[in-house]
């Protein structure tokens, strides 16, 4: 489990267990959920449409054997059902704002009954933007419910009438892979529900989503030119585990994602000029666009690498990188190439 999330989760559980620290524990829970949700936002805003129905771990055991769209649907359907049917007993967000139509979902259940290709088919039908809007609304509504809880609410239990009520909603499939959920939820008190659908369940599925997205990026990079437009080597990049290269639809490099359209200005500029990379541009030395902006501490190192590619070609460049990585343990190229592109070029030429 992610160390940061795991520690927050542990501390939250300790804090909510005592009356004196209960409110602090709820505060910690809301922080944890915020941090987890940021991961979902990052995926939804940067990954291409096809990423949401792909199943890169098909046949595997575990949450990562699903799709990104299914994972989001499943986390928030469970939360919506538990928060609104069980805890406050009002209407679920899915129905109160007609999200089912907006999302184009053929089901109202948690999705536990789906398997393999059924998950892929289901995911293909969903409008991911609307699904994200639904997830956000469910989170907001649950956060308000959690913030309003008192320590005395934690011991509240659920009886047979709740089992029947949940069965009557049709929100949990009668299929054996799903029907157990109702008994499971009803065996918990409010404290137990906080510890699972509202926290740990998120962590497990969002960690699985990370695995899915990282695998998709790795798959996208296969057979693609490993030289980035700006002059970096994707083969040697410390972000390669998470980025599918600026030459694919999985361009989720940390720099590109800070722009509203998720596109790196250097990649856009090269594409507009119809050139292979900044190393083919006459303005390279004086350029201050995109990654080469002077305030970026990696700008000069990137430029030095583009200058080297222009002089010696990509093959030689990749070999120099191999040698540099063998010789020095470094993460970012500026640690070796420094803050002056001409000096960086000299280091590359002498390596």
Cα separation, 147 vs 275, in Å, equals 54
Nearer Cβ to ligand SF4, position 120 or 284? Answer: 284
Enumerate residues 6+ apart whose C-beta is below 8 A from 261.
none
**Given 270, 299, 304, 345, the residue binding ligand SF4 (CB under 6 A):** 270
Cα separation, 46 vs 306, in Å, equals 26
239 contacts ligand SF4 (rule: CB under 6 A):
yes
String of b and e for 191-226 (b: at least 16 CB within 10 Å)?
A: bebbbbbbbbbbbbbbbbbbbbbbebbbebbeeeeb
**Which region among 136-144, 195-203, 230-238, 336-344 touches ligand SF4 (by CB under 6 A)?**
230-238
Nearer Cβ to ligand SF4, position 114 or 269? Answer: 269
Cα separation, 50 vs 46, in Å, equals 12
Which structure tokens are listed for 285?
Answer: 């030395």
Nearer Cβ to ligand SF4, position 22 or 232? Answer: 232
266 contacts ligand SF4 (rule: CB under 6 A):
yes
Nearer Cβ to ligand SF4, position 103 or 270? Answer: 270
Alpha helices by DSSP H, listed for the chain, are 3-16, 22-46, 68-81, 93-96, 99-103, 117-125, 128-148, 160-169, 176-186, 190-195, 201-221, 265-273, 299-312, 314-327, 334-337, 341-349
CA distances from 46 to 127, 200, 229, 261 (A): 15, 25, 18, 8
283 contacts ligand SF4 (rule: CB under 6 A):
yes
**Given 194, 216, 220, 278, the residue binding ligand SF4 (CB under 6 A):** 278
220 contacts ligand SF4 (rule: CB under 6 A):
no
| Residue-level length of the chain | 351
249 contacts ligand SF4 (rule: CB under 6 A):
no
337 contacts ligand SF4 (rule: CB under 6 A):
no
Nearer Cβ to ligand SF4, position 273 or 323? Answer: 273
Nearer Cβ to ligand SF4, position 138 or 278? Answer: 278
**Given 47, 202, 232, 317, the residue binding ligand SF4 (CB under 6 A):** 232
253 contacts ligand SF4 (rule: CB under 6 A):
yes
CB of 308 to ligand SF4, least distance (A): 14
**Which region among 11-19, 117-125, 279-287, 335-343 touches ligand SF4 (by CB under 6 A)?**
279-287
**Given 25, 111, 197, 290, the residue binding ligand SF4 (CB under 6 A):** 290
Cα separation, 158 vs 175, in Å, equals 22
Q: Which residues contribute to the site for ligand SF4 (CB under 6 A)? A: 228, 232, 234, 237, 239-240, 243, 245-246, 253, 266, 269-270, 273, 278, 281, 283-284, 287, 289-290
């Amino acid at each position: 489990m992610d160390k940061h999330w795991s520690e927050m989760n542990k501390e939250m559980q300790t804090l909510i267990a005592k009356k004196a620290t209960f409110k602090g524990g709820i505060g910690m829970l809301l922080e944890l959920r915020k941090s987890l949700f940021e991961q979902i936002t990052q995926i939804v805003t940067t990954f291409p449409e096809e990423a949401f129905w792909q199943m890169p771990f098909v046949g595997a055991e575990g949450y990562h054997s699903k799709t990104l769209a299914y994972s989001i649907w499943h986390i928030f359907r469970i939360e919506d059902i538990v928060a609104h049917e069980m805890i406050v007993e009002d209407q679920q967000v899915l129905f109160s704002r007609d999200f089912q139509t907006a999302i184009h979902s053929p089901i109202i259940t948690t999705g536990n009954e789906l398997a393999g290709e059924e998950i892929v088919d289901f995911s293909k039908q969903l409008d991911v933007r609307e699904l994200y809007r639904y997830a956000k609304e469910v989170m907001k509504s649950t956060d308000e419910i959690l913030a309003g809880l008192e320590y005395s609410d934690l011991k509240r239990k659920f009886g047979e009438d709740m089992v029947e009520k949940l069965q009557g909603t049709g929100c949990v499939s009668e299929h054996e892979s799903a029907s157990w959920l109702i008994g499971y939820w009803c065996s918990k008190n409010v404290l137990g529900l906080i510890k699972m659908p509202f926290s740990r369940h998120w962590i497990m599925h969002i960690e699985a989503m990370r695995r899915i997205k990282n695998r998709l990026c790795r798959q996208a990079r296969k057979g693609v030119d490993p030289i980035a437009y700006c002059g970096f080597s994707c083969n040697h990049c410390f972000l390669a585990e998470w980025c599918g290269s600026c030459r694919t639809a999985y361009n989720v490099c940390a720099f590109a994602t800070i722009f509203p359209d998720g596109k790196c200005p250097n990649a856009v500029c090269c594409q507009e000029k119809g050139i292979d990379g900044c190393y083919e541009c006459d303005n390279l030395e004086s350029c201050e666009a995109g990654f080469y902006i002077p305030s970026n501490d990696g700008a000069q190192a990137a430029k030095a690498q583009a200058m080297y590619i222009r002089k010696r070609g990509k093959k030689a460049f990749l070999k120099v990188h191999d040698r540099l990585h063998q010789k020095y343990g470094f993460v970012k190229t500026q640690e070796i190439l420094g803050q002056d592109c001409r000096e960086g070029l000299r280091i590359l030429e002498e390596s």
